Amino acid sequence: MKLIKAVMAGSVWKVLVQPGDLVEVGQDVMILESMKMEIPVSAEISGKVKEVKTNEGDFVNEEDVLVELE
């Protein structure tokens, strides 16, 4: 199982992928908002999205799982 985690604490501003999507290394999967900045979260590994663990507007902590890949 491959996990994409939050790089820092903030809120989920935009979710850019949905289950079934194929993501590549370096592709942005989500944009967080923190410190009034847009924080793109990109995939460090490629794979198929199994589950998106957060919704837009949710608060997340650093290291929280955002997206699970198959």
Residues of this chain that bind another protein (CB under 8 A): 7-9, 34-40, 61-62
Query: Whose Cβ is closer to another protein: residue 15's or residue 39's?
Result: 39
**What is the smallest separation between the CB atom of 24 and another protein, expressed in angstroms?**
17
Which segments of the chain does DSSP mark as H helices, in order? Answer: none
Which residues make beta-bridge pairs with 4?
A: 67
Query: Whose Cβ is closer to another protein: residue 7's or residue 15's?
Result: 7
Query: Whose Cβ is closer to another protein: residue 3's or residue 39's?
Result: 39
49 and 20 Cβ atoms separated by less than 8 Å: yes
| Amino acid letter, 32 | L
